[in-house]
């Protein structure tokens, strides 16, 4: 195993501990969806994103949009661990006057490139960013993480069409395909059409990977970056609540606060205490 992958895996473990602790201390938040995207977020901030924590507004940086904004504890942790702000701020999640709002806010939090939380909008906004990348010749890449549930929003497919029309090779979308959304399984709530077939129908470059396999994530992004003429979707098969066994695939953890005992158990599993 390469040193890079070990480093990302260690970051992912740290992020998972931060997520559980943030939600426990804030007494609010979405642990399941955040744990689901943790390995993708760790790969982005641990390796893939060209960003500069000491100059968060650097014009040439790669952009990242967390379209499923409710999973933000994962991103807040990654930003803090990457040096955008102090990890000491993490326990202030959702508190009054905190930099760390309940959902991401670009004008409040260093490193957040776009406000999000209202589902479905990240892809279209990413289209605008990717168009700007080409027009300004800054040639940065634009990454978006979407949930599989939010693919039910119509604007996703408006944006998907535009991305194909404009051949936005710099737009790389992860779909966190854990199969669950707030109310129940995505298939039960929204219908059962495969994610891959939908993006294929819109002409995108599609890959399906294990969303918890760091080397697969890195390779998929490498493939996506090599595809310069089509927008890319990486459909990441994930487990909601990944890493905390009693949260895994239990949708009650979509938005739920662990008890003291559950918190301690989770931290022990994650190597935190």
Partner 1 sequence: MSEYKGSREAFVAAMTDLADKDPRVVFVSADSLKAARATNFAEKYPDRYFEAGIAEQNAVAMAAGLAACGLKPYVVTYGGFITMRACEQLRTFCAYTDLDVTFGGLNGGMIGGEREGVTHQALEDIGIVRTIPGVKVFAPADAAETYALAKAAGSLKGPVYFRLGSGREPDVFSPGTEVELGKLRKVLDYGNDVLLLSSGFVLDRVLKAAELLKAGGIGASVVEVHSLKPLDADGVVRELERCQVAVTIEDHTVIGGLGSAIAELAAERCPCRIQRLGIQDVFPESGPANTLADKYGLSPQAIADTARALAAGKGR
Would you tell me which residues interact with partner 1 (CB under 8 A)? 59, 63, 105-107, 113-115, 118, 121, 124-133, 135-136, 138, 154-155, 158-159, 161-162, 165-166
Q: Closer to partner 1 at the Cβ: 57 or 97?
A: 57
Q: Closer to partner 1 at the Cβ: 93 or 160?
A: 160
Q: Closer to partner 1 at the Cβ: 118 or 228?
A: 118
User: Closest by alpha carbon to 123, among 79, 175, 67, 80?
Assistant: 67
Q: Closer to partner 1 at the Cβ: 155 or 230?
A: 155
User: Closest by alpha carbon to 195, among 134, 236, 252, 136?
Assistant: 236
Whole-number minimum distance, CB 82 to partner 1, in Å? 20
Give bridge partners of residue 64 from the DSSP assignment.
143
Rounded Cα distance between 139 and 62, Å, is 9
Q: Closer to partner 1 at the Cβ: 45 or 64?
A: 64
Rounded Cα distance between 84 and 237, Å, is 29
Whole-number minimum distance, CB 186 to partner 1, in Å? 21
Give bridge partners of residue 207 from the DSSP assignment.
234
Whole-number minimum distance, CB 11 to partner 1, in Å? 26
Whole-number minimum distance, CB 213 to partner 1, in Å? 30
Rounded Cα distance between 267 and 105, Å, is 28
Whole-number minimum distance, CB 105 to partner 1, in Å? 8
User: Closest by alpha carbon to 148, among 113, 105, 191, 108?
Assistant: 191
């Amino acid at each position: 195993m390469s040193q890079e992958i070990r480093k990302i895996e260690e970051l992912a473990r740290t992020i998972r501990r931060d997520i559980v602790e943030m939600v426990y201390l804030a007494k609010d938040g979405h642990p399941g969806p955040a744990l689901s995207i943790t390995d993708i977020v760790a790969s982005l901030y641990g390796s893939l994103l060209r960003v500069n924590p000491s100059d968060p507004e650097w014009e040439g940086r790669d952009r990242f949009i967390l379209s499923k904004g409710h999973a933000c504890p994962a991103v807040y942790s990654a930003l803090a661990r990457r040096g955008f702000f102090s990890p000491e701020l993490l326990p202030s999640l959702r508190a009054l006057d905190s930099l760390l709002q309940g959902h991401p806010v670009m004008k409040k939090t260093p490193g957040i490139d776009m406000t999000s939380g209202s589902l479905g909008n990240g892809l279209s906004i990413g289209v605008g960013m990717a168009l700007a990348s080409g027009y300004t010749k800054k040639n940065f890449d634009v990454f978006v993480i979407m949930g599989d549930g939010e693919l039910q929003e119509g604007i996703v497919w408006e944006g998907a069409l535009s991305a194909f029309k404009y051949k936005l090779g710099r737009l790389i979308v992860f779909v966190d395909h854990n199969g669950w959304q707030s109310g129940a399984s995505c298939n039960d709530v929204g219908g059962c059409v495969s994610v891959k077939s939908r993006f294929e129908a819109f002409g995108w470059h599609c890959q399906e990977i294990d969303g918890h396999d760091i080397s697969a994530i890195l390779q998929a992004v490498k493939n996506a970056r090599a595809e310069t003429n089509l927008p890319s979707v990486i459909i990441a098969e994930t487990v909601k609540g990944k890493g905390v066994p009693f949260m895994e695939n239990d949708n009650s953890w979509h938005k739920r606060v662990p008890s003291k005992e559950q918190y301690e158990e989770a931290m022990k599993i994650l190597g935190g205490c």
